[in-house]
Amino acid sequence: MSVQKQQQAALGQSSQLPDVSELLSDAQSELTALRERVADAVRAGSAADQAELRDALARVEEQLRARSLQLLERIDNRVRAVPSLEDQLFESQRLQQLDQMQWQQLQQEASNVQQPWISSLSPGEQWKQLQAFKALADPHNPFNRPLMRDRYAVALPRLGGSQASEAPAAAIVRGSNVDKPAPLPRANRIDSSMPPPPITEDDARRGILSLMQRGLIPPASKLTLDPSPIRQRTMLMHDPAERRDQADSDDVVRLARRLCAVKTDANSVKSSQQKEQKQNPQLGSASGPPPPSTPTAMAMVSRSVSASATAVTKFVVQNGHARTEAADFKAFRQRYCLDWGSVASAIRAMEQWLQAYSVPIAFVNGEKLFELAIWYELEGRISNQWELLDCLINREDVQRLVEQPGRRFTGPSGRERASTIIQAVWRGHQKRKEYREYKRKKWAAGIIAIEWILHLRLLNIKGQLKETRSRQLDGYRRRFANLEASWDNWRTERRTIIHMPSLGYPQHIRDNIKGLGRLQNTQMARLGDLRDPNIDVILVSPVPMSDEMLAYYTTLTGIRGAVESGQLEDQRDISDRYRIIVPEAVKNFPQHNMCLSTLLKYSPRALNRIRNLVRGRRAYIVPGFPCSDDLAVADKLDLPILCSEPEVTELYGTKSGAKRVFQAASVPTPPSDFDIYSSGQLQDCLAQLITENLSVRRWLLKMDTEFDGRGIAYLDADRLPCFEWALRERQRFGENWSQKWAQEKVYLKVSEELPALLRAHGRVACPEAYPNWQDFMNEFTSQGGIVEATPPTEGIVACVTVDLCIEPTGNIRIVSCGDQVRSTERPYACLGASLPQCSAMPSVLNDLCERIGTACWERKIFGHLSVDFLVFEDPETEKQTVWATDLSLHYSDSAAMMQLLLFATNGRFNPFDHELTVAMSPAEKAALDKKTKKTGLNIRVKGRQRFAAMSTRLWHSNLAAVHYSVFFQTCKAQGIGYDVTDKTGTLFCLVDSFQRDCLCMLTLSDDVCSSLQLFAKNLSMINQEISTPEMKGRTNFQGLAADLDEAIAVEKTKESSRPQSTKE
């Protein structure tokens, strides 16, 4: 911008100069007059005239010199900076170092040159021309520059120090030489939305950058120059040597381009050039030929320019101050004089930095410092000391000093700098400490805010869930009241039962169950409700169903007609009376162990299908173990559900809740204690029970929410070291043993030894669920449990399961009853049952069941439930004793298998006598009629009794490799099948159509032992067919077969002890 301003100022001044033609005419007239006066003076030859002639020549020379400079400035259209005095001195000192002998020889040769055209002139003119030629040959002659300027219009630079006296150099003016642009009006500066002021021609001449700096053009404006000042074209690549020569000769070419009009003798010029090259070969190798006139002068100019271009730009900074008087610094200053303002700022920054670290001497690379100065001018500051360090030639030495600890405090103002840094570090430490505390508080506030937001959202969701469940519960009560009012009519009318065998156990229980879906699907036998022609069934399955599996159940349900007629040809398809629906959420949540009601809740397609199937028909839902999602499904389908409220089920569906029901029903129970939630409470109550019941040798610990023998552990009390002593104490006190004072001493001793006995001899019945005692105790104390005694007998102990159904009207009916088949591998786990039960007196069981059902009805427990009893002979009274031990508020597997049994036999279960009877075959009826006619007696026959053995826990790993079609062909080949005429044989329930390693089996026969033997025989044959010595697989067939052998032996013992009864 400063150069442009100078050019504009020069152009403004040049407009005031006279015209070029006027200057030339004036110069011509003055030269003519001078020529006449010179001629007259030469003729006269007086001294006064010669003095006057010299004055006139000097005056003309000065005028021509001034006007020539003005003319050149006007023609070049730029301001020429006058060199300073320091630059002239530096240049003169450098040129004086040249060989004076060469200059003298050149002058002598120039004086001896014969000029043939001078002899034709007058003596005065010859002398004048000779002096002028000598002046042209000598660059230090004071008349050299005027003659070159006057005769050839060439302005030569000042090469010697002798010219310093002619024109004193002007000092370099520092600072901005550009007029400060006028700012925007105040209104535009305050309100940027106002339109900018108009742009004048003067503003336009200042350029786009000036307009942007003043704000007339917004900084964010996108400018497009048309035509563009930048044009793309192929760049010409030159040879590196050629570029160096061209760079050295640029200045000479610029000086010589005005000498093209000079006419001299070519021979003399050529001879002088050759002679000069011989004397100084270095001068002859200078790049670019000299101009055609004044060869010696041009050679000197070329030599000086070349030396100036190749000078090393470096200077010295000593003790923090640059040596400004040194020649190298002056050369550096002359080279970058046009940008000296930025360079001076960089030098001051270098000096301050070197002073701060007390660096004695540093050699600065001028080129790098110039680059840093330009960058400093653009960025506004030098970012770090390493940028200054890169500008030093002796970088390693300076860096070694700078990196010394404490070096920066040794310079001037070191103490002040140290105190400043100490204060800054201390303030930084305090601020960082405050910032860390602020950051910690901000983090804590963020955590608190997030937790509070989550808490509020959780409260909102809980409120919504509570409201939704309250609405669902109100709908359940309303629909259940309608079901209760019309139950008697429903039982005789056509209706649809939706079986949903869901196990809504708590989440922590379901997470520990492997194959929860297959476990829920073991109740496929609920299709047996189709025996009533007024009932249609919709069965919700938690596992996908294959075509092969659906075809089997079509065949199984089709035997109903053959069973009724006794002819196999009468089979008929009744698949239109049932539907098996699989929720689509089964595929979406394969690993979440969700109960079936939850999966159906998130399956809108399955819900819509069920809703369409029951539209306009009477229907209700029969669940498994009910939970809140069962009520949600019933609310979405707007159907009643035959079960208790979820809160009631959670309260009385546990082991402790069962004890409360049994106490309310006043039924006999084993010695026990419930609602135990800590180890101390367990030890206290167990010590008290052991002290009061020393005849009991084994005690059971049962968790509240577990099932199927999973949450059971046992402890043998006779392992106590004081057990024998306690027996003697009881014998010593006799009848007074029931008093607390008699038991106190034994109680204290048992309490002392019981903790060690629990740790050493406590055993878990199901290690798959709880691997060790500690895991069992942790879960036991977290969910609670009970302590219960086992029968105090060495004899046979039978476990009987009775399935009840409490109808909405309060009617209690027995659905099935059976003797459990216990597993020897997993104590207290049931693997199967024999139906109906033959261990207890039916009247006793019926009475106990009636009382338990009534207690449940009073506590609003509805639907299906099952009660477990222990039947044994009391050694003291030698009478059969029945204890109620467990209450399960869900639809059991034995109840489902009983429905399939009644469907396949067309039989009838007598809940009073606990007998299963089937109708006689046509041949038996004919024989009976013949006997009646022959004897004349009216013989009444109840029907034929049937007994069954069933299991829903069969599994064999090799079954997964066998398709169902192959499996049934194998069974047919081995004679495993069902006789529709005799109502005996084997029935299967398929559980999983893809893994196929689980199976349910039911065998029927005339007596209990035969049904158990047939079951064991089938297991043996199936295991033999699907197993090889190399691939035996994992199975429970062999263990169950051993348990069945033991059960057969027990049944035979019962039959031998049971009195023979006559059948009429």
SS3 789: strand
Q: Any bridge partners for residue 537, and if so which?
A: 497, 578
* Same domain, yes or no: 20 and 152: yes
Task: Find the helix packing angle between 100-112 and 266-279, rounded to 10°.
Answer: 160
Report yes or no on 636 lying in a domain: yes
Structure tokens belonging to residue 97: 């170092």
Which one-letter DSSP state was computed for residue 739? S
pLDDT, average across residues 1023-1042: 87
Which one-letter DSSP state was computed for residue 164? G
The answer to whether 236 and 243 are in contact (CB under 8 A) is no
Report yes or no on 344 lying in a domain: yes
For 391, the domain range is: 314-412
CATH number at residue 556: 3.40.50
pLDDT, average across residues 842-848: 94
pLDDT band at residue 815 using 50, 70 and 90 as cut-offs: very high
Write out pLDDT tens, residues 441-493: 999 999 999 999 999 999 999 999 999 999 999 999 999 999 999 998 888 88
Q: Tokens 């069954």 sit at which residue?
A: 948
Give DSSP secondary structure letters for 110-162: HHH---TTTTTS-HHHHHHHHHHHHHHH-TTSTTHHHHHHHHH---PPP-SGG
More confident residue, 917 or 22: 917
* Same domain, yes or no: 12 and 130: yes
pLDDT, average across residues 89-95: 46
Write out pLDDT tens, residues 888-924: 999 999 999 999 999 999 889 999 999 999 887 666 6
The answer to whether 538 and 613 are in contact (CB under 8 A) is yes
Report yes or no on 121 lying in a domain: yes
- Sign, CA dihedral 740-741-746-752, equals positive
* Same domain, yes or no: 608 and 715: no
CA-wise closest residue to 149 among 160, 161, 135, 162: 135
- Sign, CA dihedral 786-791-797-803, equals negative
pLDDT, average across residues 240-265: 44
Run of H or E including 1042:
helix 1037-1057
The Cα–Cα gap between 596 and 540 comes to: 8
The Cα–Cα gap between 444 and 449 comes to: 8
pLDDT band at residue 310 using 50, 70 and 90 as cut-offs: very low
Phi first, then psi, for residue 544 (nearest 5°) are -65, 150
Please tell me the least confidently modeled range out of 271-275, 425-429, 463-467, 1052-1056: 271-275
The total of other beta-carbon atoms located within 10 Å of residue 358's CB is: 18
Please tell me the least confidently modeled range out of 137-146, 244-253, 281-290, 812-821: 281-290
The Cα–Cα gap between 576 and 621 comes to: 19
> What pLDDT is recorded for position 301?
37
* Same domain, yes or no: 14 and 107: yes
End position of a domain, from candidates 362, 396, 412: 412
More confident residue, 794 or 1061: 794
* Same domain, yes or no: 597 and 700: no
pLDDT, average across residues 530-547: 93
CA-wise closest residue to 799 among 826, 772, 832: 832
Structure tokens belonging to residue 532: 């009533």
> What pLDDT is recorded for position 801?
95
Phi first, then psi, for residue 1045 (nearest 5°) are -60, -40
> What pLDDT is recorded for position 256?
38
> What pLDDT is recorded for position 229?
67
The Cα–Cα gap between 21 and 25 comes to: 6
How distant is the alpha carbon of residue 943 from its chain centre?
72
pLDDT, average across residues 559-585: 89
The Cα–Cα gap between 215 and 185 comes to: 10
pLDDT at 284 over 50: no
pLDDT band at residue 819 using 50, 70 and 90 as cut-offs: very high
The Cα–Cα gap between 153 and 76 comes to: 13
* Same domain, yes or no: 396 and 283: no
Total structural domains in the chain? 5
pLDDT, average across residues 990-1000: 89
* Same domain, yes or no: 161 and 297: yes
* Same domain, yes or no: 268 and 356: no
Report yes or no on 355 lying in a domain: yes
Report yes or no on 488 lying in a domain: no
Write out pLDDT tens, residues 505-522: 888 888 888 888 889 999
Return the percentage of the chain with pLDDT > 70, whole number.
Answer: 74
Structure tokens belonging to residue 724: 């024998």
* Same domain, yes or no: 780 and 726: yes
How close are the terminal C-alpha atoms of the chain, in Å?
A: 135
The answer to whether 333 and 346 are in contact (CB under 8 A) is no
End position of a domain, from candidates 732, 767, 790: 790
Please tell me the least confidently modeled range out of 125-129, 265-269, 601-605, 1048-1052: 265-269
pLDDT, average across residues 270-287: 43
Please tell me the least confidently modeled range out of 242-251, 921-930, 950-959, 1005-1014: 242-251
* Same domain, yes or no: 580 and 696: no
Mean pLDDT of the chain: 80
Please tell me the least confidently modeled range out of 26-40, 462-476, 538-552: 26-40
Write out pLDDT tens, residues 380-425: 666 677 888 889 999 899 999 888 888 888 888 888 888 998 999 9
CA-wise closest residue to 1015 among 1053, 1035, 1043, 1050: 1043
For the question of whether the overall pTM of this predicted structure is more than 0.75, the answer is no
Q: What single-letter amino acid sits at 707?
A: F
* Same domain, yes or no: 606 and 585: yes
Q: What are the CA-CA distances from residue 913 to residues 816, 854, 945 (Å)? A: 11, 20, 12
Q: Tokens 């999983």 sit at which residue?
A: 992
Report yes or no on 81 lying in a domain: yes
* Same domain, yes or no: 974 and 1013: yes
Report yes or no on 809 lying in a domain: no
pLDDT at 182 over 90: no
Structure tokens belonging to residue 646: 């979820």
Rank 64-68, 289-293, 769-773 by mean pLDDT and report only the highest. 769-773
> What pLDDT is recorded for position 722?
93
Report yes or no on 107 lying in a domain: yes
pLDDT band at residue 1038 using 50, 70 and 90 as cut-offs: confident
